Amino acid sequence: MKKSIRDVEVTGKKVLVRVDFNVPLDPKTNEIMDDSRIIASLPTIWYLIEHKAKIILCSHLGRPNGRVVESMRLTPVAERLSQLINMPIHTVSDCIGPRVKQAIDKLKNGEILLLENLRFYPEEEANDSAFARALAENADIYVNDAFGTAHRAHASTYGVAKYLPAYAGLLLEKELRVLDNLLTNPQRPFVALLGGAKVSDKIKLLDNLLNKVDTLLIGGGMANTFLSAQGFGTGLSAVEEDKKELAKQLMANAKSSGILLVLPLDVIVADTVDENSKFAIAPVSMIPANKYIVDIGPQTVELFTENLKKCSTVFWNGPLGVYEIPAFSRGTRKMAELLANLNATTVVGGGSTAEIVNEMNLAYRMTHVSTGGGASLSFLEGKILPGVQVLQDE
3-class secondary structure for 193-205?
Answer: EECCCCCHHHHHH
Q: Kindly name the residue from 37, 54, 73, 333 that is annotated as catalytic.
A: 37
Beta-carbon-side half-sphere exposure of residue 284 (alpha carbons within 13 Å): 22
Q: Which uninterrupted H or E stretch holds 90?
A: strand 90-91
User: What residues does each domain of the chain span?
Assistant: 5-172, 186-380
Catalytic residue check, 97 = no
- Residue 353 φ/ψ, nearest 5 degrees: -65, -40
> What does the pLDDT average to over 329-338?
96
Q: What is the pLDDT of residue 199?
A: 80
Q: How many residues does the chain have?
A: 394
Q: Kindly name the residue from 318, 351, 372, 373 that is annotated as catalytic.
A: 351
Q: What is the pLDDT of residue 1?
A: 85
- Name 302's Cβ contacts closer than 8 Å, sequence gap at least 6: none
Please count the other Cβ atoms lying within 10 Å of the Cβ belonging to residue 6: 12
- pTM of the complete model beyond 0.85: yes
Catalytic residue check, 28 = no
Residues 104-158: tens digit of each pLDDT: 999 999 999 999 999 999 999 999 999 999 999 999 999 999 999 999 999 999 9
Q: What is the pLDDT of residue 161?
A: 97
Catalytic residue check, 231 = no
- Name 27's Cβ contacts closer than 8 Å, sequence gap at least 6: none
Is the separation of the CB atoms in 365 and 130 below 8 Å?
A: no
Q: β-strand 266-270 against 279-283: which pairing, if any?
A: antiparallel
In CATH, the architecture of 186-380 is 3-Layer(aba) Sandwich (3.40)
Homologous superfamily of domain range 5-172: Phosphoglycerate kinase, N-terminal domain (3.40.50.1260)
CA distance 23 to 203: 28
Catalytic residue check, 188 = no
Is the separation of the CB atoms in 109 and 140 below 8 Å?
A: no
Distances (CA, A) of 143 to 78, 101, 211, 293, 313: 19, 18, 34, 45, 31
Q: Kindly name the residue from 62, 110, 233, 374 that is annotated as catalytic.
A: 374
Closest by alpha carbon to 334, among 368, 310, 386, 299?
299
pLDDT of 350 > 80? The answer is no
Q: Identify the three-state secondary structure at position 262.
A: strand
CATH topology match: 5-172 vs 186-380: yes
Distances (CA, A) of 6 to 28, 43, 107, 391: 41, 12, 22, 14
pLDDT of 198 > 90? The answer is no
Q: Kindly name the residue from 13, 101, 133, 198 that is annotated as catalytic.
A: 198
Is the separation of the CB atoms in 112 and 92 below 8 Å?
A: no
